[in-house]
Amino acid sequence: MGETGRVAAGKGHAFSASPVLESRLPAWRSRLLLLVLFAAFATLAGRAVWLQLWSDEFLQKQGAARYARTLELPATRGRILDRNGEVLALSLPARAVWAIPAEARGAQPAQLDELARQLGLSRAEIDARLDSRRGFVYLKRQVDLATAGRVQALGIAGIHTHKESRRHYPHGALTAHVVGFNDVEDQGQEGIKLAHQASLGGTAGSRRVIRDRLGRIAEDAGGRLPARDGRDLALAIDGRIQHAARSHLKAAVERHQAAAGAIVVLDVGSGEVLALANLPDYDPNERKGLTGAQLRNRALTDIYEPGSVIKPFTIALALEKGLATPDTLVETAPGRLTIGRATIRDASRHDTLTVAEVLQKSSNVGTVKLALQMPAQDMWSMLMQVGFGQPPQLGFPGTAASSQRPHRSWKPIEQATISYGHGMATSLMQMAQSYLVFARDGDMVPLSLLKVDEPPAARPVLSSASAAAVRAMMERATWPGGTAPRARVPGYRVAGKTSTAHKPVGGRYTKRYIAGFVGLAPVSRPRIIVAVMIDEPTEGGYFGGRVAAPVFASVVQDALRTLDVAPDAPVEDILRAPIEAADEDALAPAAAEKQSTM
């Protein structure tokens, strides 16, 4: 039977005419479905054409987002050097140890115990960090290379290292308050490191790479931007003088059982800070358990009543205005002077003194009598011109300005007390800076913590005659009968002024003291200024001439020899200086320095 004649089994119908094959849907619906499918495929084809021809940049970005990465190329941080090229701070290669907690938790207990031991952590600290749900945790930063190698040798799954650097300070605490330190991210936090973060830190570079699905670098994608390393920084600090200054300061603080101390050494010609030290201090390589007292840069941030070291400025102004000469007589008897309801006293009665002797013997009464002959505005202007009332322009974080009230508010008793350094407050650095006017024959230069290549421009303040006259008077303070024979240095003529200031607490003076001395050397041609402050000495006296002046003498002796400065004292003074200095207690008792507490 032919194909057209086939019939459905048992029904007698032709196969093509079977009711089962009969379509019950309208023909337009199948055509509509076909049209929709065709439109969908046409849209996809059009989208593909559009992406390939007009959206290539978009596709490139999408691919880069999945496989391309920008890696940071760290810059090498600049070194910090002293003026002679000695390294004070540099970066050493190190490793950061990190973990993928989900992988590392499966390590054997013995492996984790050894990991903790190598990193200097407790097992509990390791467990706590690996208990994190995060995909990445640091176990320890800035690990030295040898330790990092031993950690990797443990072969613990999920424990990794990557490169970084750590800052190292070869001289430890020697220049801690000048240099400062960095945090774990290598950013400056204190001192020069903070002040010059931008130039020391440099600028990080970048590198574009393509990673495979396992995160490994497959190829370089170009676009490499090299890092710009930080610049080396040369400080004005002389490491040799810094060592001498800190050593002698530390010996004095320990000998007198003092709470703290600070010292500053300036170069007279350039205004450079050759040494700056504070105690207590710290080792920036080991900063665990640091206290605020250790971090305080007292020479720059702490202000206090300077006391008698202000007297030379009062006398200089009297000379400048023609009110007195070094030989002018001043009546100081009976050793006290009443102004209103307050009485100013000298510790010892001196009767009639010359102006030079007023400074030599540190007479409060004589100084006040000179001060009250001058307008308050002139005294205020003098103090402002030598740097009081404004912070030294050192670009150093935390530098304090002195506390100086406007002259319009001065009452006679305030003008009187300011003339000998009470009723005002200043920092040790400002005291050292102000004495430049006497060391430089009447002019001043700005201070600098950075090495200076060319001498800065000077600013006149006093006549050279007035400055030289006050310098000669201050030299007499170190002679027999003066307040500072212990400041004498064999072979060199020195000049300076002592200070013994009461510390006010709660608005009242207490029996706690700050002993100070500011001086210059050699007198014939000043090269350095040294300012010393000893806070709350409790053993062996508390007067500036007894506590601070010997520190000045020791530092000056070491510094002038280091700088190869020729001696300027007569030979007979060199031979007898130690004997006269030893006899001065009988000639100038310590009580002669005591300041009025009113």
CA 456, 462, 468, 472 torsion: positive or negative?
A: negative
CA dist., res. 19 & res. 14, Å (int): 10
Going by their DSSP bridges, the two strands 260-267 and 528-535 should be labelled as antiparallel
**Is the Cα torsion angle 548, 551, 553, 556 positive or negative in sign?**
negative
Scanning 180-301, the segments in alpha helix (DSSP H) are 191-195, 197-201, 239-255, 292-295, 298-301
Are 540 and 252 spatial neighbours (Cβ–Cβ below 8 Å)? no
Helix axes 56-67, 27-54, angle to 10 degrees: 80
The burial of 63, by beta-carbon neighbours within 10 Å (0-12 exposed, 13-18 middle, 19 or more buried), is given as exposed
Preceding omega of 522 cis (within 30 degrees of 0): yes
The residue type at 132? S
- For residue 536 the two structure tokens come to 């709350």
Contacts of 413 by beta carbon, 8 Å cutoff, 6+ apart: 339, 340, 342
Contact call for residues 426 and 435 (beta carbons, < 8 A): no
Q: Are 500 and 594 in contact (CB under 8 A)?
A: yes
Residues in contact with 557: Cβ distance below 8 Å, sequence separation at least 6, in sequence order: 489, 490, 491, 492
The pairing of strands 508-521 and 495-505 is antiparallel
Cα–Cα distance measured from residue 69 to residue 176, given in angstroms and rounded to the nearest whole number: 40
Q: Please report which helix (H) or strand (E) contains residue 65, including its range.
A: helix 56-67
* H or E element that contains 582: helix 571-587
Residues in the chain: 598
Which residue type occupies 440? R
Q: Is 403 a catalytic site residue?
A: no
Residue whose pair of structure tokens reads 């912070």 in the numeric block: 391
- Token pair 């999920």 in the structure block, residue: 158
Catalytic residue among 308, 402, 419, 427: 308
* Cα–Cα distance, 495 to 344 (Å, whole number): 26
Number of neighbouring beta carbons within 10 Å of residue 268: 19
Longest Cα–Cα distance in the chain: 159
The secondary structure of residue 523, as a DSSP letter, is T
List, in sequence order, every residue forming a beta bridge with 263; answer none if it has no partner.
277, 532
What is the rounded (10 degree) CA torsion for 531, 391, 433, 458?
Answer: 170
- Helix or strand or coil: residue 492? strand
Provide the CB-side half-sphere exposure for 18 (13 A, CA): 11
Q: Which residues are catalytic?
A: 308
